[in-house]
Amino acid sequence: MTLDLPTLLQDIAADVRPLLGEGEVASYIPALSRMPRDRFGIAVATIDGRVYGAGDSGHRFSIQSLSKMYALALALQREGDALWQRVGREPSGTPFNSLVQLERERGVPRNPFVNAGALVVTDVLCRRYLQPERAVLEFVHRLLGEADVAIDAEVARSERGHSDRNAAIAHFMRSFGNLHGDVGAVLDAYCAQCAIAMSCRELARAGLFLAADGVQPPGTRVVDALAARRINALMLTCGAYDAAGDLACRIGLPVKTGVGGGIVAVVPGRLCVCAWAPGLDANGNSIAAAAAIERFATAIGASIFAAD
């Protein structure tokens, strides 16, 4: 059976509409709190170059923690396996912005997708690049083959002005010697990379290298195959924080979530899908986007645990 992806995406957009009133828009970053909850988009990019979308699939939103995929890819490309001496590869079982585990593990974050881990990754990038947030943005430009995507300066400023918790995490790690640069500079770069604005269509296209062993279709290698597989493994086990197990059960794919309401999922060897809806659950994951990706993965039989 050939799948009619455009119709499937339209059906999913209609199905999840009743969920759009649920959850809360992230308000701890004031610039994000103004986003209306009734927006929804979904897009799929296939490794053979097709892109399909439904709803607000072309509307740009704040990618927030989705940027952690790109920053990690860049850091792995530059640092290789040495990175794992400073960041773990285990699920955290704690909220994305938690401090509690850091004392027990002497300033080494559980994984690169919780904020602590992403701040260490940013610290690595600060060592390697004069403008680390530009390096992340240019990595995205390379993935998309165009330089249109940008950092939303207002969102970056808004988060930077309310970054006490991330500052606390960074200082705490620095006290253990696991953050080498200037805390202010690391926070500037981190908030800027989180404030990149992209649409579902762009995020689905940009994620294709993770579905193709590190080669961005049609044929640019951006990370080695092992790095791409590791990023996928970390997305499956840690990409949705406290809900990683639940989303692995429901979706069965590597996923990454962000408090802007976006969720990216990778179907290795086939495609990348991104859904967006601003209403978040208590873990900071989009309720309607998770439901949409669950429906999509079930409809196309995408779970990596399926036998066929």
- Which residues are annotated binding-site positions? 65, 115, 159, 166, 190, 241, 259
What minimum distance in Å lies between the beta carbon of 66 and ligand GLN? 7
Rounded Cα distance, 233 and 167, in Å: 28
Is residue 98 part of the contact set for ligand GLN (CB under 6 A)? no
6: tokens are 């455009």
**Nearest 5°: CA angle at 208, between 204 and 210?**
120
Tell which one of 56, 133, 152, 159 touches ligand GLN (CB under 6 A): 159
Residues 106-125 that bind ligand GLN (CB under 6 A): 115
Rounded Cα distance, 262 and 278, in Å: 8
How many residues of this chain interact with ligand GLN, rule: CB under 6 A?
11
What minimum distance in Å lies between the beta carbon of 166 and ligand GLN? 5
Rounded Cα distance, 308 and 303, in Å: 10
Rounded Cα distance, 101 and 2, in Å: 47
Of residues 245, 254, 241, 263, the one with CA closest to residue 213: 254
Closest to ligand GLN by CB, 166 vs 237, is 166
Is residue 65 part of the contact set for ligand GLN (CB under 6 A)? yes
Question: Who contacts 226 (Cβ-Cβ below 8 Å, separation ≥6)?
Answer: none
Tell which one of 251, 259, 275, 289 touches ligand GLN (CB under 6 A): 259
Closest to ligand GLN by CB, 97 vs 131, is 97
Rounded Cα distance, 256 and 45, in Å: 16
What minimum distance in Å lies between the beta carbon of 205 and ligand GLN? 20
* Residue ranges at the known binding site for substrate: 65, 115, 159, 166, 190, 241, 259
Q: Where are the alpha helices (DSSP H) in 198-286?
A: 200-206, 208-211, 225-238, 244-250
Instruction: Give the residue closest to ligand GLN by C-beta.
Output: 65
Tell which one of 149, 284, 286, 302 touches ligand GLN (CB under 6 A): 284
Tell which one of 97, 101, 131, 303 touches ligand GLN (CB under 6 A): 97
Question: Who contacts 71 (Cβ-Cβ below 8 Å, separation ≥6)?
Answer: 112, 118, 121, 122, 125, 136, 193
Q: Per-residue contact track with ligand GLN, 199 to 238, x per CB under 6 A?
A: ----------------------------------------
Is residue 91 part of the contact set for ligand GLN (CB under 6 A)? no
Rounded Cα distance, 96 and 174, in Å: 19
Tell which one of 169, 194, 200, 238 touches ligand GLN (CB under 6 A): 194
Provide the binding-site residues for ligand GLN, judged by CB under 6 A: 64-65, 96-97, 115, 159, 166, 194, 258-259, 284
